[in-house]
Amino acid sequence: MLEQFETLIEEKNYVALKTQLNDMHPQDIALLLDEVAGNDEREALILFRLLTKENAAEAFVEASSDTQEYLINAFSDAELKSVFDEMFLDDTVDIIEEMPATVVKRIINQSDSETRKLINQILKYPKDSAGSVMTVEYISLKKQWTVRQCFDCIRKQALDKETIYNCYVTDETRKLIGVVSVKTLLLNNYDTVIENIMETDVISADTYADQEYVASLLSKYDLTAVPIVDQENRIVGIITIDDAIDVIEEEATEDIAKMAAIRPSDKPYLEQSVWQIWLNRVPWLLVLMVSATFTGLIINTYESKLAAISTVLFACVPMLMDTGGNAGSQASVTVIRSLAIGDLVPRDVFKVLWKELRVSILLGLVLAIACFAKLQLIDRLLFRFEGYDVITSAVVSLALFITIVLAKFVGAILPLFAKKIKLDPAVVASPFITTIVDALSLIIYCTISIAILS
């Protein structure tokens, strides 16, 4: 498809280009612009200028920030104004947050004073707060209006609003006193006063609430929008379901990154520079490498004693540590995700430990038996390695059993403890737990080996 468009550009067949482009969905146009801009930015500009006003704004919002930055720099002032006037304010703010200062200045200069005031206000809210992601275009109604008056008002304002299906009822001081859906309006008589049909128990969130909390409200109560209010309960914006989906996806991505010992980034992978990726990965790798010193210390301490007993004891260390690490991260990842989606709360700690204890004993038994069988059948009989006698194999299997039970315990309790003391459970995740489990399992292994075998 890309080639087809490039042929049309070369042929300067702008009529066909214009028709084909504007027939596409804005999201697909944005993908195409990103692709084209990757090869030749000027071609992206040519394509962009063929878009209708509405498609131009929507495609611009969906494009990557690299494409956006190039286009803004290439725009005339009039073009810039026309694109940004067509956009919703929350999208404008999103773009501003990604752009370098000079570009931001140009955008702000092209906005009218009212928009500028609103932009500055939203920019003041902390990153990831409800205020920073909300949209300020919503339908607001008065409680004494009839359904007919409401529909008149909605008809007049609908074009500029992101969603019209939830309308917010405010009193004289702009305080939020109710919500009414277009569905309810349609189900009622034209002369009904909305005070009598509105829902007064409104689920709302504070401007400083975490965006993740707002997304969880939308998800839990199956809402399509949540009103955002200031400290005096005056409505200042709404967060719509499409933004909530983005938040839910972002938060899952962040948690996954943290579990893999990466500092999360809100940019897509291919758009991050090598330096950014490096910076997000190096701190944890360093911390974890240094903390692995403990395992080295333990081995140094026990080395001569172990070597004196049997030469095969060291060969089982990687298997023991890997299995302990895997067992621990199974538990920790399950608990972290359950906490994130609200299936678990810290006070469930005893339920979790009781469950993990039983699971870990079952798992430990199966793995210890399998390990014993493997050592006896594969290492001793098949490969004929020396030193894998029955007692040594049994000691290794016993150490494995204890390691698994311990790993599950540590893996389950650390995230719950982190949540309890208001730390992010995902940060105490797998790699960190692996280090603890490694050290513990090594100590147990060495102690048991020396106690039984020497």
77-106 positions binding a copy of itself, by CB under 8 A: none
Instruction: Return the residue of 63, 80, 333, 399 that touches a copy of itself, per CB under 8 A.
Output: 333
CB 120 → a copy of itself: shortest distance, Å?
26
For the CA atoms of 138, 144, 146, 147, the dihedral, rounded to the nearest 10 degrees, stands at 30
Residues numbered 227-256 forming contacts with a copy of itself, rule: CB under 8 A? 241-242, 244-246, 248-249, 252-253, 255-256
Residues numbered 148-167 forming contacts with a copy of itself, rule: CB under 8 A? 151, 154-155, 158-159, 164-165
- Residue 318 binds a copy of itself, judged by CB under 8 A: yes
- Residue 315 binds a copy of itself, judged by CB under 8 A: yes
Max Cα–Cα distance, the chain, nearest Å: 94
Instruction: Return the residue of 15, 16, 285, 423 that touches a copy of itself, per CB under 8 A.
Output: 285
Instruction: Return the residue of 72, 359, 416, 428 that touches a copy of itself, per CB under 8 A.
Output: 359
* Candidate segments 84-92, 93-101, 104-112, 219-227, binder of a copy of itself by CB under 8 A: 219-227
- Residue 47 binds a copy of itself, judged by CB under 8 A: no
**Considering beta carbons, is residue 34 or 171 the nearer one to a copy of itself?**
34
CB 147 → a copy of itself: shortest distance, Å?
11
CB 440 → a copy of itself: shortest distance, Å?
13
Residues numbered 99-138 forming contacts with a copy of itself, rule: CB under 8 A? none
Give CA–CA dist 450/454, Å, rounded.
Answer: 5
Q: How far is CA 240 from the centre of its chain?
A: 17
- Residue 18 binds a copy of itself, judged by CB under 8 A: no
What is the three-state SS of the chain? CHHHHHHHHHCCCHHHHHHHHHHCCHHHHHHHHHHHHHHCHHHHHHHHHCCCHHHHHHHHHHCCHHHHHHHHHHCCHHHHHHHHHHCCHHHHHHHHHHCCHHHHHHHHHHCCHHHHHHHHHHHHCCCCEHHHHCECCCEEEECCCEHHHHHHHHHHHHHHCCCCCEEEEECCCCEEEEEEEHHHHHHCCCCCEHHHCCECCCCCEECCCEHHHHHHHHHHCCCCEEEEECCCCEEEEEEEHHHHHHHHHHHHHHHHHHHCCCCCCCCCHHHCCHHHHHHHHHHHHHHHHHHCHHHHHHHHHHHHHHHHHCCCCHHHHHHHHHHHHHHHHHHHHHHHHHHHCCCCCHHHHHHHHHHHHHHHHHHHHHHHHHHHHHHHHHHHHHCCCCCCCHHHHHHHHHHHHHHHHHHHHHHHHHHHHHHHCCCCHHHHCHHHHHHHHHHHHHHHHHHHHHHHHC
Give CA–CA dist 145/194, Å, rounded.
Answer: 6
CB 19 → a copy of itself: shortest distance, Å?
13
**Considering beta carbons, is residue 94 or 438 the nearer one to a copy of itself?**
438
Residues numbered 161-200 forming contacts with a copy of itself, rule: CB under 8 A? 164-165, 182-183, 186-187
**Considering beta carbons, is residue 377 or 423 the nearer one to a copy of itself?**
377
Instruction: Return the residue of 367, 395, 410, 436 that touches a copy of itself, per CB under 8 A.
Output: 367
- Residue 296 binds a copy of itself, judged by CB under 8 A: yes
Instruction: Return the residue of 327, 406, 410, 446 that touches a copy of itself, per CB under 8 A.
Output: 327
CB 404 → a copy of itself: shortest distance, Å?
8
Instruction: Return the residue of 307, 377, 381, 391 that touches a copy of itself, per CB under 8 A.
Output: 307
- Binding mask 413-442 toward a copy of itself (x if CB under 8 A, else -) reads -----------------xx--xx--x---x
CB 70 → a copy of itself: shortest distance, Å?
19
* Candidate segments 72-80, 88-96, 107-115, 298-306, binder of a copy of itself by CB under 8 A: 298-306
- Residue 40 binds a copy of itself, judged by CB under 8 A: no
Instruction: Return the residue of 1, 15, 290, 390 that touches a copy of itself, per CB under 8 A.
Output: 290
